């Protein structure tokens, strides 16, 4: 089953492990990973810790009409935030714009709890706020 398939009554949601597989992160990395991981948290949250290689676009900017970076366009998108609320909103916005988008259940908290990599803006060990 594709992770980009809609769940009954709404957008698709994936676990942190499924997100890691689709985006090529950590022990769950897959050579065929094609999705981009989009982090929609605020700048201070991003700076404290994010998944390596993720794209950062805060939800308010996305909601105001900001586009995904060129390398992320026309690719499936896995959206993540701290706990899953903002990412759900972002996935809905992206889907309305025609993107294939799912959000990560439990967000970066679940990502970190699953032992997946989190780095700060200097490339050191990051934390999730």
pLDDT digit string, tens, across residues 32-85: 678 999 999 999 999 999 999 999 999 999 999 999 999 999 999 999 999 999
| pTM of the complete model | 0.89
> How many helical (H) and strand (E) elements, i.e. helices and strands, does the chain have?
5, 5
Q: So what's the pLDDT on residue 5?
A: 44
**Percentage of the residues of the chain whose pLDDT score is greater than 70:** 87
Select the CATH number that applies to the domain covering 13-113 from these four: 3.90.1150.10, 3.40.250.10, 3.20.20.70, 3.40.50.300: 3.40.250.10
Average pLDDT for 9-26: 85
**Percentage of the residues of the chain whose pLDDT score is greater than 90:** 83
Which residue numbers are catalytic? 81
Q: Which residues contact 101 (CB under 8 A, 6 or more apart)?
A: 4, 11, 76, 77, 78, 79, 90, 91, 94, 95
Classify residue 7 as exposed, middle or buried by CB count within 10 Å of its CB (0-12, 13-18, 19+). Answer: exposed
Q: Which residue has the higher pLDDT, 49 or 30?
A: 49
Q: So what's the pLDDT on residue 26?
A: 54
Q: d(Cα 40, Cα 37) in Å, to the nearest integer? A: 10
Q: Which single residue is written with the structure tokens 């294939």?
A: 100
3-state secondary structure of 80: strand
Average pLDDT for 79-105: 96
- For the chain, the average pLDDT equals 89
Q: Which residue has the higher pLDDT, 33 or 26?
A: 33
Q: So what's the pLDDT on residue 25?
A: 82
Q: So what's the pLDDT on residue 31?
A: 57
């Amino acid at each position: 089953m594709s992770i980009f398939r809609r769940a009954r009554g709404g957008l698709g949601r994936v676990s942190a492990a499924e997100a890691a597989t689709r985006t090529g992160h950590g022990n769950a990395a897959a050579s065929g990973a094609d999705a981009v991981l989009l982090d929609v948290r605020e700048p201070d949250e991003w700076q404290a810790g994010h998944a390596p290689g993720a794209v950062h676009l805060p939800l308010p900017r996305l909601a105001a009409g900001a586009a995904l970076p060129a390398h992320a366009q026309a690719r499936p998108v896995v959206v993540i935030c701290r706990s899953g609320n903002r990412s759900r909103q972002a996935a809905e916005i992206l889907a309305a714009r025609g993107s294939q988008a799912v959000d990560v259940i439990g967000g970066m908290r679940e990502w970190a709890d699953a032992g997946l990599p989190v780095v700060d803006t200097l490339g050191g060990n990051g934390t999730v706020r």
